[in-house]
Structure 1
Amino acid sequence: MTQSLEALTAHMLEAAKTAGADNADAMAVRGTSLSVTVRSGAMEEAQREEGTDVGLRVFVGQRTAIVSASDTSARTLSDMAERAVAMAREAPENPYAGLADADQLSTVSDATSLELFDPSQEPAPEALQQDAMIAEAAALDVAGIEQVDAASAGYGAREIHLAASNGFAGGTHRTDRGLSCIAIAGTGTGMERDYDGDSRIFQRDLRSAEEIGRTAAERTLLRMNPRKPPTGSYPVLFDERIASSLIGHLLSAINGSAITRGASFLRDAMGTQVLPEGLSLIEDPHRPRITGSRLFDAEGLPTAKRAVVENGILQSWTLDLATGRQLGLPSTANAARGTGSGPSPSPWNMALTQGTASRDDLIRDMGTGLLVTSMIGSTINPNTGDYSRGAAGLWVENGEITHAVNECTIAGNLRDMLLAIVPANDARTHLSRVVPSLLVSGMTIAGD
């Protein structure tokens, strides 16, 4: 008989107490994943994985250690606890380590209202294969597409339970469905590829396989016959597919781990302008059917909506208990962890204020410049914000797209770039990170 995750975490906490831990928290994850890849109208690969992983963190005073395992037998759990306590006794003291106080804990542990679990039956491999084959066929139906590199469909389900000696206990059950397609056009050195895909919690929310295959094909054809752009200073429009990476750099710079190390170009920016006036960045971990949603974090603290940036002004770091204590601030309930690691700060659902102009409007208004649709590699200095990335996309002349571009580098400074962004109105609101296309003026492009 399969043991419940609640029972597993309770067993680990009891074992930790018996082994001599002053405090402990435990995490158990039971998951199933299924994926299918097709190529040339036939199944190329099918994978199914399932298992249970457990993790235990123990405290001996302010010394701590973490152990994990995929064996959930009673003997293994007891051995884990003894080993963790022995490790903790040899570890250096951490003045910021420790569980949350009882009055800090979330009193709501049932995440049903967030709709993170699709109760429909796990799909059969044949159903996933059919979706992938439809996407592949739709891409191949577009004139000019030579082949499909791969079309894949997948399903995952995870049950997660957390418990701690301070009295917290709570869990979530999550599912995800995904479908993607990579189309190829041209041959030899003239070969180009692009993709489309979708990932949702509920199967019925997933975009159609036909649309995904067709869009992958259309994007690929736009990349044909690329040229290098001229070198110089030009406006750069980050397509919605990749614009969230710019906001990701901001989020990394305000992460408590970076701030406590002093390794951030925004380390002295609290209360100052980091985005244009009128733009806000809002974290809302309670949006239904969104992968980043949760009622409590990995330390049992209740999550809440907060303004990270309001009207362009930086309002908050992203903190867990330890980084908050180090900075003399309360946690923002952003602790994330796995079974084999301790908590660390991580942002949940983020949304940037959308603009009033469409992406086409921004293309028209930018005059001559680069629409970036993909990027590779990066050289980013977290201390200074100096930014340099390889890019490809579409060249814009006099407000109109003229041809494809590749093999170029775009460069600037993130502090300046973030202060200059102009958002479009095309963000996909079902994503955990809702960021529209972003126009940045005056970036350096290195091409010919």
Structure 2
Amino acid sequence: MLSSYNIQQDLNILISNIQQALLYLKKNVSSGMIIIKKTYSLIISSRYGIIDNIESFNYVSSLVTIYNNFRQSSVFSNKISFLEICKSIDRSISISKYTEMDKCFGLPDINLLFDHKKKINLFFPKLFNLDEIKNLVDLTNSAALNFDSKVINIEGSVFEYSIDINILGNSLGWIDSYLSTCNYLSSHVIARYKNFMERDFSYSVSRDFNDLDDPEKVGQDSAKKSIARLNSKKISTQISPVIFISDIANELFSYLIDAINGYSVYKKSSFLLCYLNKKIFPFWLNIFEDPFINKGLSSRLFDNEGVATKKRKIIENGILKTWLLDTYSSNKLNIENTGHSGGIYNWIVSSTQLTQSFDDILHTMNRGVLITELLGDSINIITGNYSFGICGFWIEDGIIKYPIHGITISGNLINTWNNIILIANDINKKNNIQCSSVLIDKIQISGY
């Protein structure tokens, strides 16, 4: 893996490429922007003390977008030299002559662009040697295999390390870049009891290698989860309270992203079209977006158009406070750009009421379903209706009784969101939506 000095050299070369290419762009067309990305990756997997796969590769890409008399055209390439970017500019100009005119196309307002003043640290480079990584994955495997005799096999442990260089510039004279690192360690385990076999996995992810969970914990967690799923049963069709465990509770809120995206709103294809500044969650629930968390997995100083990100209330006291807009959708809706070209930034789901431990909300629910996995993805973003297969556990008297399978939950998201009773304090920070386990009063469950 490259040293931080080598990375800085590459960054300087790529910035020079984009500077020259922007001069070429401005000579040939009125406005546009260029994005360059380079990724260095190292992936190593191991089973039973033997490395079975090593991958080390670099991936590069460039995206040229030009605006030619309100006509937009974009050309993607896996080449990032100055000459190749110029070729992409030429192709983009040629294509734009045949695209439809739309006065909403264009660069963002110059006053919205990131001013280069704020800093966050997402870059934690580390030099690895093969023995160090092999020891890491071997410890993960051993912890899983030695946890219980029911663990009969491992599909392997995987370690991944990546460095990203991202550079963005536009014809307004704005250029900026950022470096980031990501570390990922996972364990996949197969468990058996009598004629039943199950598999599950556990993982840890972080910007800084030193923030990864201990390999023993990752291995043991995957073993526990696999064993817990053995000898699962079906349950009857019913309306029941459910808990979304913190590992997957983020998915309960992830559909909000699509529903309040500017494209869904201006196309009138969202079930939340008429809900801006209206209540869609319990009054005690808040979702706050913070792009500036050091080491945050979804932290960004600017979006994919260079627009500065901001701390923002998404849900305040249960009320939807904003759409998620880029330049085009903000022009369509005649609302100020929110800097969401490319996604969201560290949503934090919180409660103004006293939170409880995971065990406490199990006892509060008393009887119902603990959901640990969602299967499939069937949701109608126009109506908010959904249906998912699930895996999990049946809870009786606040205690996990047995695993369940072959179950489907269904309903409407607005009803489900409003039926949230409690959130726990076991916050999971491994996703772009940081959320704890969630207790919902009632959901339709289809079993046998």
What is the TM-score with the length of structure 1 in the denominator? Answer: 0.94
CA distance in 2, matches of 1:188, 1:53: 51
- Displacement after TM superposition at 1:429 (Å): 4.2
Distance 2:116 2:194 in 1: 58
Q: Who is 1:363 aligned against?
A: 362
- Indicate conservation of the 8 Å contact 1:32/1:49, yes or no: yes
- After superposition, the C-alpha distances for 1:382-436 in whole angstroms (9 at most, x for unaligned) are 1111111000111011221110111111111111001111211111346532111
Q: Which moved more, 1:64-73 or 1:41-50?
A: 64-73
Query: In structure 2, what is the Cα distance between the partners aligned to 1:181 and 1:351?
Result: 27
Quote the offset at 1:262 in angstroms. 1.3
Counterpart residue type for residue 67 of structure 1: V
Partner Cα distance (2:227, 2:401) in 1: 13
**Aligned residues of 1:16 and 1:85 also touching (Cα < 8 A):** no
- Tell me: CA distance 1:73–1:249, structure 2 relative to 1, closer, same or farther (3 Å): closer
For 1:305-358, what per-residue CA distance to the aligned partner results, in whole angstroms no more than 9, with x for missing partners? 01011001111011111111111100111112xxxxxxxxx2111001145111
SS in 2 for 1:396: strand
- Using a 3 Å threshold, how does the CA distance of structure 1 residues 188 and 57 change in structure 2: closer, same or farther? farther
Tell me, yes or no, if the aligned pair for 1:13 and 1:165 is still in contact at 8 Å.
yes
Q: Distance in 1 between matches of 2:156 and 2:326?
A: 40
Paired position in structure 2 for 1:313: 319
- Confirm or deny: 8 A CA contact 2:247 2:428 kept in the other structure: no
Alignment match, 2:338: 332
On the 8 A contact 2:183/2:209 being kept in 1, the answer is yes
SS in 2 for 1:90: coil
Deviation for aligned residue 1:236: 1.0
Partner amino acid for 2:146? Answer: D
Deviates more, 1:205-214 or 1:69-78: 69-78
Q: Which amino acid aligns with 2:15?
A: E
For residues 239-278 of structure 1, the aligned pairs below 5 Å read 239-278=245-284
Specify the alignment match of 1:161 in structure 2: 167
- Matches of 1:325 and 1:157, distance apart in 2: 34
TM-score for the superposition, normalised by structure 2: 0.94
Out of 11, 27, 31, the position equivalent to 2:35 is 27
Identify which range, 427-436 or 218-227, moves more after superposition: 427-436
Residue 9, structure 1, aligned to residue 15, structure 2: no
Distance 1:367 1:67, change over 3 A: same
Q: Does 1:199 align with 2:196?
A: no
- Give the gaps of 5 or more residues in structure 2: 1-8
Per-residue CA distance 1:184-203 (angstroms, 9 max, x = gap): 10179611111110110001
SS in 2 for 1:240: coil
SS state of the match for residue 126, structure 2?
coil
In the alignment, is the contact (CA less than 8 A) between 2:201 and 2:222 conserved in 1?
A: yes
Equivalent residue number for residue 426 of structure 1: 426
Shift of 1:70: 2.1
Q: How many angstroms does 1:41 deviate by?
A: 2.1
CA contact (8 A) 1:5 1:160 kept: no
Specify the code of the residue in structure 1 equivalent to 2:144. Answer: A
Correspondent of 2:94 among 74, 80, 86:
86
Q: 5 Å matches for 1:203-214?
A: 203-214=209-220
Q: Is the 8 A contact 2:250 2:431 kept in 1?
A: no
Tell me if 1:131 matches 2:136: yes
Task: Tell whether the 8 Å contact from 1:278 to 1:312 is kept in structure 2 after alignment.
Answer: yes
Report the Cα distance in structure 1 between the residues aligned to 2:162 and 2:81, rounded to whole angstroms. 25
Could you tell me whether the CA contact under 8 Å between 1:197 and 1:212 is conserved in 2? Answer: yes
CA distance in 1, matches of 2:173, 2:348: 33
- What's the offset of the Cα at 1:78? 2.4
Q: Mapping of 1:61-100 within 5 angstroms?
A: 61-100=69-108
Aligned equivalent of 2:54, options 46, 56, 62: 46
Structure 2: distance between partners of 1:168 and 1:73: 20
Query: 1:76–1:430: structure 2 CA closer, same or farther, 3 Å change rule?
Result: closer
2:347 pairs, out of 347, 350, 357, with 350
**Is structure 2 residue 288 aligned with structure 1 residue 279?**
no
Q: Distance in 1 between matches of 2:384 and 2:191?
A: 37
What is residue 191 of structure 2 aligned with on the other side?
185
Matched-pair contact (CA < 8 Å) for 1:379–1:389: yes
What is the count of residue pairs matched by the alignment?
435
Q: Distance in 2 between matches of 1:232 and 1:166?
A: 59
SS in 1 for 2:97: helix
Could you say which residue in structure 2 is the equivalent of 1:341? none
- CA-atom RMSD, angstroms? 1.6
| Distance change in 2, residues 1:188/1:328 (3 Å) | farther
State the match for 2:6 in structure 1.
none
Contiguous gaps of at least 5 residues in structure 1: 337-345
Mapped to 2, the partners of 1:78 and 1:314 lie a distance apart of: 44
Identical pairs, percent: 27
Classify the secondary structure of the residue corresponding to 1:267: coil
CA contact (8 A) 2:193 2:230 kept: no
Residues 193 and 231 in structure 2, CA contact (< 8 A), matched pair in contact too = no
